[in-house]
Amino acid sequence: MVAAGIDIGSTGTKAVLFDGEIRASIVVPTGWDPKAAGLEAFRQALDCAGIAEGDVHSIVGTGYGRVSLPIFDRKVTEITCHARGAHFLYPETRSVIDIGGQDSKVISVDEHGRVAEFAMNDKCAAGTGRFLQVMAGVLDVSLEQLGQLAVGATPAQISSMCAVFAESEVIGLLARGADKGSIAAGIFHSIAGRIQGLAGKVTLSHRVTFSGGVALNRELCSAIGASLGVDMWVPHAPQMVGALGAAIMGFEA
């Protein structure tokens, strides 16, 4: 028995095949066509594992694009999926921080990997991947470079939480000759502050998993860990956690 989990997010679409173990794990860009991206990720995952489509007994969809694919046997929100995926990777975990392209969540998880409660950012983009992208754009660097810039730098003070205001704040800092490294560190600091605010709304344990594509950024991980005062587990492919959770749920169903 093999199950597939497909997580169609705002930037990346992820597919995982699971049969008690992870058989394949694929990321493709979502682009403008979430439906095509979902099918493409699924096909690549099948190829990669050498499994025929007919052998997949359950396909679970998650992420913003989950409404768009007719092949799903079941749809589950990314909140439930991230909790499940994180629990599989780190059975001890009791909290999950997930920062995606459009939103960020802090989820508290019970010993079975079930969601106990969660908090999610409101309308505003502060503390999301989008915020990070806008800021990298202002500094004219890639997301990876943003991380490298921040290493060892003293964070500049960025007080605005709103992406639009923070953008002009950063432009102001640049105009005053602040160096990019401290601005990058300041940006991470600001995101960490926002996550700290969210984490205050649920019961946060010290056994935290950090998931979602933004967790690839090591500097950001340490900024968030430091502001929460916890050590976090960061999976080597944090963006796959939601798809993994979806696949596990399909496998167990």
Partner 1 sequence: MREICASFDEIAGLRERNAIALKVAKDRGRKVVGTYCLFSPVELIVAAGAIPVSLCGTSATPIPAAEKVLPRSLCPLIKSSYGFALTDTCPFFHFSDLLLAETTCDGKKKMYELLGRMKPLHLMQLPQVQDEAALEYWVLELKRLIRRLEQAFDVKITPEKLAAAVLLLNEERRSLKALQDLLKRKPAPISGMDLLTVLHNRGFTVDKREAIGLIDRLTAELTGLSDNGFSPFTTRTPRILLTGVPVGIGSEKVVRLVEELGGSVVCFESCGAYKKVDPVLPGNDLLRSIAEKYLRVPCSCMSPNTGRLQLLEKLVQEFQADGVIDLTWQGCHTYNVESFTVKRHLQETAQVPFLQIETDYSESDTEQLKVRIEAFLEVIGTRRGGRP
The residue with tokens 């700290």 is 196
Among 123, 140, 152, 176, binds partner 1 (CB under 8 A): 123
Q: Which residue, 84 or 180, is less far from partner 1 as judged by CB?
A: 84
Task: Check residue 223 for interaction with partner 1 (CB under 8 A).
Answer: no
Q: Minimum CB separation from partner 1 for residue 152, in Å?
A: 36
Task: Check residue 92 for interaction with partner 1 (CB under 8 A).
Answer: no
Provide the token pair at 117: 């409660």
Q: Which residue, 109 or 223, is less far from partner 1 as judged by CB?
A: 109
Collapse the DSSP code of 108 into the 3-class scheme (helix H, G, I; strand E, B; otherwise coil) and give the result. Answer: strand
Task: Check residue 162 for interaction with partner 1 (CB under 8 A).
Answer: no
> HSE-up of 251 (CA within 13 Å, CB side)?
24
Task: Check residue 120 for interaction with partner 1 (CB under 8 A).
Answer: yes
Q: Which residue, 132 or 139, is less far from partner 1 as judged by CB?
A: 132
Q: Which residue, 26 or 132, is less far from partner 1 as judged by CB?
A: 132
The footprint of partner 1 on this chain (CB under 8 A) covers a number of residues equal to 22
Residues in the chain: 253
Residues 115-120: contacts with CB within 8 Å, 24+ apart? 115/79, 115/80, 115/83, 116/202, 116/203, 117/202, 117/203, 118/79, 118/202, 119/198, 119/199, 119/201, 119/202, 120/79, 120/198
Among 44, 68, 77, 160, binds partner 1 (CB under 8 A): 77
Q: How far apart are the C-alpha atoms of 89 and 81, rounded to whole Å?
A: 12
With contacts defined by CB under 8 A, name the span among 47-55, 78-86, 135-143, 210-218 that binds partner 1: 78-86
Q: Minimum CB separation from partner 1 for residue 238, in Å?
A: 19
Task: Check residue 114 for interaction with partner 1 (CB under 8 A).
Answer: yes
Q: Which residue, 110 or 144, is less far from partner 1 as judged by CB?
A: 110
Chain positions 54 to 73 lying near partner 1, rule: CB under 8 A, are 64
Task: Check residue 103 for interaction with partner 1 (CB under 8 A).
Answer: yes
Burial degree of 236 (CB within 10 A; 0-12, 13-18, 19+): exposed
Collapse the DSSP code of 144 into the 3-class scheme (helix H, G, I; strand E, B; otherwise coil) and give the result. Answer: helix
Task: Check residue 218 for interaction with partner 1 (CB under 8 A).
Answer: no
Cα 242 to chain centroid, rounded: 8
Nearest Cα neighbor of 183 from 211, 216, 145, 215 is 145
Q: Which residues bind partner 1 (CB under 8 A)?
A: 64, 76-80, 84, 102-103, 112-118, 120, 122-123, 249, 252-253
